[in-house]
Amino acid sequence: MPYMFNGIGTTYYGNRDKGADGFYTTTKFFVLAGFPVLPLSSWRVRPLGRQTGFITRKQNYEIRRLPMHRKQVLNVYAAAIATVAAVIMAINLFARHRPGGGPRTHAATPISVQPISSLPASSVPVQPSAPHQESSPLIRQTPQLTPVPVSNGVLRRRKGSVGTAALKIQTPPSADHVLKLINTRDTKEEMLIYVGRNSTFETKVPLGTYKITAAYGQIWYGEKHLFGEHTSYFRLVLTNGADAFTFSRAKNQILGHHIILTAHFDGNLQTHRIGGNDF
């Protein structure tokens, strides 16, 4: 069975040709820092359940060995390279837009010239000349934002709501995040959750269906200004196109969600950029 510790070891990558019996084709890789380095073998597998220890968690499978699936190996490598490229682009983007993080260009303010309508000479009012005065320069000050101390937690919650289902959020090391849950029943905000960079936060959410939007940045200026002028926004969308997340009760189980905002092979979430008005 695959085994990985601190990002080093073996794991299955790929999921194709899934049958009605629950078996699907996957390939076992040697991984380093979570990156697929060397394909070892291909298998038909069927998950049997997880085995949890004191500090470990292991997925058990029923397995049948196959010849090496070369097409799946190529697809896994292509996905890995694309993910690394996306992470590098994201890091460069954060570095360029964070305060003091890179060169910026400032566009010149355009000056508009208004035409003056001509009047017949007889109708032009004559005004006595006034002494010449120097015009004073106009200085406009941008409000100085003050960073606000904050820790992981629920910033806002709808009055009277009771959390039942689990919501776990993991963030990347590049930025702090604020996630907003919008109840699809009435399109109103249910919760606003702050999770700092490279951390995990877990809370309880009322049963229901929600759309999830997020804002991220480097310095927190409070619920009104978020991360200031460098705030970026996105909404979470599943790879099948759905953008609603349901927290429900099924028989004797309560079903929640675990959202991992770091790049992940074979992940089932996408981030779609939005504007601040849509957050």
How confident is residue 263, by pLDDT bands cut at 50, 70 and 90? confident
For 34, phi then psi, to 5°, come to: 80, 0
* More confident of the two residues 6 and 11: 11
Q: Which residue has the higher pLDDT, 30 or 102?
A: 30
Residues 188 and 209 sit within 8 Å (Cβ to Cβ): no
Residue 205 has pLDDT above 80, yes or no: yes
Least confident of 42-46, 62-66, 105-109: 105-109
Taking residues 254-268, what's their average pLDDT?
Answer: 87
57-67 mean pLDDT:
79
What is the reported pLDDT for 18? 86
Domains and their CATH numbers in the chain:
4-94 (no CATH), 153-278 (2.60.40)
> Do residues 25 and 43 lie in contact, with contact meaning Cβ atoms separated by under 8 Å?
yes
**Residue 130 CB neighbours (<10 A):** 6
Tokens linked to 17: 């040709």
What is the predicted pLDDT for the residue at 131? Answer: 54
Stretch 79-94: mean pLDDT: 84
Mean pLDDT of the chain: 82
Q: What is the pLDDT of residue 89?
A: 85
Does residue 13 have a pLDDT over 70?
A: yes
- Reference 167, options 274, 60, 261; nearest CA is 261
Percent of the chain topping pLDDT 90: 48
pLDDT digits (tens, 9 = 90+) for 164-202: 999 999 999 999 999 999 999 999 999 999 999 999 999
| Closest residue by Cα to residue 76 from 23, 35, 17, 133 | 35
Please tell me the distance from the alpha carbon of residue 199 to that of residue 184, in angstroms, as a whole number: 28
pLDDT for res 149: 95
Out of 122-131, 185-194, 235-244, 267-276, the most confident range is 185-194
- Which of 59-63, 91-95, 138-142, 194-198 is least confident? 138-142
- Whether the per-residue pLDDT at 253 is higher than 60: the answer is yes
Predicted confidence band at 140 (pLDDT cuts at 50, 70, 90)? low
Please tell me the number of Cα atoms within 13 Å of 79 on its side-chain side. 17
Q: Is the pLDDT of residue 35 over 90?
A: no
Q: Which amino acid, 36?
A: P
Residue 179 has what pLDDT? 98
Convert the pLDDT of each residue in 90-128 to its tens digit.
887 777 655 544 433 333 323 223 333 433 434 344 444
- Of 207, 206, 199, nearest to 261 by C-alpha is 199
Average pLDDT over residues 19-45: 89
